[in-house]
Structures are given as structure tokens and as C-alpha cells.
Amino acid sequence: MSNVLLQEEVDSLLSGIGEGTVETETDILKSGEELQLYDFSTKAGNSHRQLPALGIINERFISFINASLSSATGTTIDVNVTDVDSVKYDEFCRSLPFPTSLNIFKMEPLKGLALLVLEGALVFGLVNTFFGGNCGVQVKLEGRSFTRIEAKIIERVVSIVLEDFQKSWLDVYNVKMKYARTEVDPQFARIAKPDDVVIATKFNVDIGNFSGVMTICVPCNTLEPIKKILRKSFQSETPEVDQTWRRHMKERIKQQFVNLSCTLGMAKVTGRELLGLKIGDVIMLDQKINDAIPICVGDILKFKGHSGALNNQKAIRIENRVNVE
């Protein structure tokens, strides 16, 4: 009980603080000192930076989706990543415009749900493209939802996107993208709690002179079981060999002409002997008649053979192949 102040001591201490005779600590900044702001979302802002494998996945996804959407629409479509951010799910939902197509899907065997967001402008642009319209035409978005035809187009686009997103994960982790449902109102697309952190990857989709936004939103809790895998840096996948192009190149190579030369022998003569040569003289070569004759393709020795005749013409019969390191 010796550490407990008496009432008289408490009154004296309060009196001293009030009169200024007792020094106290304050939070007042000293002259020239700047106030340091604390960002309560710092943890969220760093989540995606700790997972380098997500960058590899996004690169693969872009290459796949560019080809798939261009093929499906019959026009050139260019998709690029514009932003990757880690934010609270409630903050992400508040940033979405209306109308927006919110497509919920699973990443089996991972737990939880993820979100594929197609903003209204992008949906209307894709609908026009599928039906051969002009994407540059401005569509009034306020006060309207998606028609049944537009919903069908959305289903087709979502199917293409999820298929390519699944392929982009193959070398990192084997997941299966399984479509669940589509919503328009964010309050019915609760894939996470309001304070849960999500990784939102925003893609810009260019179609001619028009551009729209597509976002893939994945909760950090969903990726938690495979974070060790996602922290690794993966090498880009080895591109598959195009067998059609390979056969074409092979046929083109077969049609090319090459220089084939055979050296029957060589001889060294002096300048005096060269000047003294006349018709009927015999030059002795350094190679015997039974020795193998070198056969070169260009300047590279490739075969060896023996001389002979075929159809009343001089010929060389190849005996063996020379492997040059």
C-alpha cells in the first residue's frame, strides 16, 4: 500500500499541475517539427506487393485474354493492367460506379469467393462490338440496368475471362474458376467482410477508340493458404511450340538451295613449278584412290564418301556422316 497516494498528496499534485509548478509531458510539436500521419490502411496497401507471383499471373492473363476477346468479337482488343491495390472491401465497393456487373466466382479448392467486375461502359461497348456496332457511340448509363440480351453477352464474356484466368494460374497453383452468380448491387455481392482486405487488379480494355474497365477482386483471406507459393518468383512459362508453323518452316527449309562440294585431293606446287606446267603434265594429289572423300555443305564438313559413276556421270557415294561439335 506504500505506492498509493494519500488524498492530501493527490490534492497537492493536482494543485501543482494547475499552477504550473509541476512539469508534465505534452504532445505539442516543437518548432520546425512536422506532424507524421499514420495510415491505418498501411497493412492493406502492402499485401499485393508481398506476392510477386501475382504479377506473373497478370502477365499471362493479359496475353490469354487479348487473344480470346479479339477472336470472340472479331476485332482487335487490347487489355492492360492499370492498377493493383490492396484495400478494404467496403472501400472497394464504394468506388464502383452504377450500373456495374458484379460476377461472383469460386477459386476451388481455395475457400471463399472472388469477384469479376465489368463496369457498365465496358458492358455496353462489348455488346456493340459483338453486334458489329460502333464502340465510340456514347451510351447513357444513369438510371438503367442491363437487358436480357446484355446479360447474355455478359455471361459469354465472363466465361471467356474466367477460363483465361484459370489458365494463367496453372504454373503457380492449380485452381478451378467456377462461376457462381451475377449481381448489380454491391450489397448483394458480399464476398468479404467490410473491413477485410482484398486485392483489386484493374484492367483497361481498349476496343478501337473506346476503353472500359474490368476488375478482378480477390480477398486476402482466400489466398492465405497459398501465400508461401505466391511469395515466390516464377519464371515465365515456356511457350508451346506451334506445330503448324514448325511444319511450314521445315518445308521452306527443304526448298532452299545449298552448296555441296567434294574435295578429291590437294597438291602444293612452287611458283616455278606452276609457271612450268604444260598440257599433258600430271599433278600428284595428296589423297589415294581408296581414301574417303570429304563432302562439305558450305564450309562445314558433313559427310565422307567414295568416288564412282552413275548414269555415265561422275558421282560420290556417301559412306558416313561427320558429326561436328
- pLDDT given at position 297: 87
- pLDDT given at position 198: 93
- pLDDT given at position 248: 78
User: Count of domains in the chain?
Assistant: 2
> Which is nearest to 124 in space by CA: 108, 110, 102, 141?
141
- pLDDT given at position 162: 95
In a domain, 6, yes or no: no
Q: CATH number of the domain that 287 lies in? A: 2.30.330.10
- Are 201 and 300 contained in the same domain? no
Q: Is the pTM of this model over 0.85?
A: no
Residue 43, all three cell numbers: 497493412
- Are 67 and 119 contained in the same domain? yes
Q: Which domain holds residue 196?
A: 43-236
- pLDDT given at position 133: 66
- Are 316 and 200 contained in the same domain? no
Write 27-36 long-range contacts (CB < 8 A, 24+).
Answer: none
- Are 171 and 226 contained in the same domain? yes
> Which is nearest to 216 in space by CA: 194, 192, 199, 196?
199
> Which is nearest to 186 in space by CA: 101, 282, 118?
101
> What is the chain's length?
325
| SS3 category, 197 | strand
- Are 266 and 232 contained in the same domain? no
In a domain, 7, yes or no: no
Q: What CA–CA distances, in Å, run from 50 to 71, 85, 115, 166, 173? A: 35, 12, 21, 21, 17
- Are 315 and 176 contained in the same domain? no
- Are 167 and 297 contained in the same domain? no
Q: What CA–CA distances, in Å, run from 129 to 80, 143, 165, 212, 242? A: 19, 23, 22, 13, 29
Q: Is 317 exposed, middle or buried (0-12, 13-18, 19+ CB in 10 A)?
A: exposed
In a domain, 34, yes or no: no
- Are 101 and 218 contained in the same domain? yes
In a domain, 19, yes or no: no
Give, rounded to a whole angstrom, the gap between the first and last alpha carbons of the chain: 93
- Are 167 and 216 contained in the same domain? yes
* Consecutive H or E run containing 248: helix 243-254
Backbone φ and ψ for 102, nearest 5 degrees, come out as -105, 110
- pLDDT given at position 48: 61
- Are 104 and 51 contained in the same domain? yes
Last residue of a domain, one of 210, 236, 262: 236
In a domain, 28, yes or no: no
- Are 266 and 125 contained in the same domain? no
In a domain, 23, yes or no: no
- pLDDT given at position 25: 60
In a domain, 232, yes or no: yes
Residue ranges, the chain, pLDDT below 70: 1-5, 18-49, 133-144, 233-242, 324-325
Q: CATH number of the domain that 84 lies in? A: 3.40.1550.10
Q: Is residue 135 a contact partner of residue 129, using CB atoms and an 8 Å limit?
A: yes
